[in-house]
Amino acid sequence: GVCFAIPDLVVEVRRRVDEAQAVLDTPGVAEDGAGDDSGETPEPVVLGPDGGLHGVEVCVELSLNGQNFTEDHICFTYYGPLEADAVQLISLAEGVAAEPVKEDPKAAKKPAKGAPEEVTYTIVRPGSKIGCAVKPILESASALLRVELATKVGDEEQQPFRVVDLPARVEEIKLPPAQPAETDPKAGKNAPPEPPPEVDPVEMLTALAPEIRTEELPEGAFIIMCGFSVSLNGQSFVPCQQQPQLMRLEPLPPEASGA
């Protein structure tokens, strides 16, 4: 096979950013190059870190003699630096109903002085949809959500277990609105609650939680999803922001043994 390397565009990006910034910093120069006689100070233009190259497609054709080229129309898309928010649980697995929240009598009690606080987890079942907002984002058949799994037994330190790359796709997700603020006691008991604010859909990179069977785990261990990173090309990964609450992946039950 023929191998080749896509040229590094870091220098080109830096050059384009510097040139564009120099034009913007020139006094009295408008976007079209003409002077602005209105007397108003234009708002400063913030340049992206990719020099305007984000989303640019480059078609690559090969030649063995420098004259006759293939016509396969293989395209590569350049994307700039990614920023990934914390991964969150978006929806439960198909056919799984949400369990009612039970009040834990221990939760009302304060831990003894000097005792470590009990860690709480977001329970994730196999096949549940998880995802995070990524900016800037592009449709990609090679997108992946990488999950670092660890096992934990009792009070022992968690141990690395497995790294799983999950096929991901871009979706517009309408997240639930934030919890409403507490009602003003002066407003009276009969005051109508304020409607939740309208939330616009968010473009997110989503994937389905992996399947791990109980027999694959050490005895008495449970699984923690302790690290996430995203990739649009399946090769270069960017870590996601730290989760406010760790996720605990429920394993599948043991396979039934044959008769």
Query: Do residues 206 and 171 lie in contact, with contact meaning Cβ atoms separated by under 8 Å?
Result: yes
In a domain, 189, yes or no: no
> Phi/psi of residue 74, each to 5°?
-80, 120
Cβ neighbour number for residue 258 with a 10 Å cutoff: 4
Regions of the chain with pLDDT less than 70: 6-10, 27-54, 95-117, 178-193, 195-196, 256-259
- Shared domain check, 72 and 18: yes
pTM assigned to the model? 0.69
Q: Prior bond to 254 cis, omega within 30?
A: no
In a domain, 27, yes or no: yes
In a domain, 257, yes or no: no
In a domain, 3, yes or no: no
- Shared domain check, 132 and 23: no
- Shared domain check, 230 and 171: yes
- Shared domain check, 203 and 139: yes
pLDDT at site 136: 86
The residues near 194 (Cβ < 8 Å, ≥ 6 apart) are 180, 181
- Shared domain check, 92 and 68: no
- Shared domain check, 159 and 38: no
In a domain, 144, yes or no: yes
pLDDT at site 102: 46
Instruction: State the residue range of the domain holding 21.
Output: 10-77
- Shared domain check, 140 and 46: no
- Shared domain check, 103 and 22: no
pLDDT digits (tens, 9 = 90+) for 187-221: 556 666 676 677 788 999 999 999 999 999 999 99
Looking at residue 215, the DSSP 8-state letter turns out to be G
pLDDT at site 109: 56
- Shared domain check, 154 and 130: yes
Q: Torsion angle, CA of 28/31/33/36, rounded to 10 degrees?
A: -40
Tally of structural domains, the chain: 2
pLDDT at site 101: 43
- Report the CATH number that the domain containing residue 224 is assigned in CATH: 2.60.40
pLDDT at site 148: 97
In a domain, 190, yes or no: no
In a domain, 259, yes or no: no
Of 146, 141, 132, nearest in space to 232 by CA: 141
In a domain, 183, yes or no: no
pLDDT at site 76: 76
- Shared domain check, 238 and 204: yes
- Shared domain check, 103 and 37: no
pLDDT at site 21: 74
- Shared domain check, 137 and 221: yes
Give the domain-ending residue among 22, 54, 77: 77
